[in-house]
Amino acid sequence: MLTSHRRTILLVEDSPDDERLTLRALNRLGLDMTIDVARDGMEAIKYLETCEPLPVMVLLDLKLPLLNGLQVLDRIRANPRTKALPVIVLTSSDEPSDINTAYKLHANSFVQKPVDFSEFSQVIGELGKYWFVTNVNPPTG
Amino acid sequence: MRSEAGLPWVLLAEDNSDDEQLFRRAFRPYATQFELRVATTGPEAVDLLKEEPLPVVAFLDTRMPLLDGFGVLKWIRSEPRLNSLPVLVVSSATELAESVGGYELGVSSFIQKPVDFDEYMTTVKTVLDYWLTVNRNPRPPVA
């Protein structure tokens, strides 16, 4: 029997405006994806502990309530269930210390959110296309 | 940080000369900002990575003589100074189960090499556009 399940992306984002812009830009790609949203670090961790199947990738803001993005990343990598999950940090920060720490904690990629609206849309579009189409994601089993 | 001596650089580890030429062509728009250094074996890639400064990103073909892409990746992730380096593994294998191994070893991204030449050219362009313009690469410490 052929089962197809839509691939899921987890967006971890506490700003409703950025959430809306990101969802719009991703949905515009017309790819067969579901986007789940967690609004703080704890919600993201809880989601990843129990979701079936795993998302194919996590888009992770760093500035989050309860548990910040770097702490979330650290926990994602510490959990065998999510150790290999592609995590793309998507944040307004371009602090070298944030960038370097994210990579030290084994983020796959670090993208700065453009301030400009149309640039934002373009960058998210390229990000979505790269990680959803070009990159071969680990099987989510 | 860019050194006075040269441009930031990109490592390609690729033993197939046709694929290397294709990559160089796709790389041309970036040649004023980045230098491309090519290793044709795993050990050669390791030698290039032992130097300073580090590249901004490394592309490793899985199939190389002496030490394959996964071997180089494993070495990279064991070296504290290289641990943060964005590393892409490019595989021509049809079995994508290879990707599991790659992610377990800490690959940043896993790409499948299309058989079709034009398609591969497009893939390389997309990959370079993402990793050299969209992605923020880690800054190596300044000596």
| pLDDT tens-digit map of A14-55 | 999 999 999 999 999 999 999 999 999 999 999 999 999 899
Q: How confident is the model at residue A141 (pLDDT cuts 50, 70, 90)?
A: low
Q: Give chain A positions within 8 Å (CB) of B99.
A: 136-139
pLDDT on residue B98: 76
The residues spanned by each domain of chain B are 11-133
Q: Give chain A positions within 8 Å (CB) of B112.
A: 136
The answer to whether A111 touches B135, Cβ cutoff 8 Å, is yes
Q: How many A-B residue pairs are in contact by the CB < 8 A criterion?
A: 70
Task: Give me the residues of B, 63-102, that contact A with CB < 8 A.
Answer: 83-86, 96-97, 99-100
| pLDDT tens-digit map of B74-116 | 999 999 999 999 999 999 876 667 777 889 899 999 999 988 9
Q: Residue A4 pLDDT > 80, yes or no?
A: no
Provide Rg for chain B, Cα atoms.
Answer: 14
Query: ipTM score here?
Result: 0.92
Q: Give chain A positions within 8 Å (CB) of B86.
A: 103, 109
**CB proximity A101 to B under 8 Å:** no
**CB proximity B108 to A under 8 Å:** yes
Q: How confident is the model at residue B4 (pLDDT cuts 50, 70, 90)?
A: very low
**CB proximity A95 to B under 8 Å:** no
CA distance A44 to chain B (A): 21
Say which residue, A10 or A137, is predicted with more confidence: A10
pLDDT on residue B2: 46
The answer to whether B109 touches B69, Cβ cutoff 8 Å, is no
Q: Give chain A positions within 8 Å (CB) of B108.
A: 108-109
Element (H, E) at A88: strand A87-91
The C-alpha atoms of residue A71 and residue A34 are separated, in whole angstroms, by 25
**CB proximity A103 to B under 8 Å:** yes
Burial tier of B142 (Cβ tally within 10 Å: 0-12, 13-18, 19+):
exposed
Q: How confident is the model at residue A117 (pLDDT cuts 50, 70, 90)?
A: confident
Homologous superfamily (CATH) for B11-133:
Response regulator (3.40.50.2300)
Instruction: Name the amino acid, one letter, at B72.
Output: V
The residues spanned by each domain of chain A are 7-132
The C-alpha atoms of residue A69 and residue A101 are separated, in whole angstroms, by 11
pLDDT on residue B141: 59
Burial tier of A114 (Cβ tally within 10 Å: 0-12, 13-18, 19+):
middle
pLDDT on residue B95: 66
Name the CATH topology of A7-132: Rossmann fold (3.40.50)
Q: ∠ at Cα A106 (A104, A108), nearest 5°?
A: 125
Tokens of residue A14, six digits: 């506490």
pLDDT on residue B102: 87
Q: Give chain B positions within 8 Å (CB) of A124.
A: none
Q: Give the mean pLDDT of chain A.
A: 93
Say which residue, B15 or B140, is predicted with more confidence: B15
Contact at CB, A137 and B135, closer than 8 angstroms: no
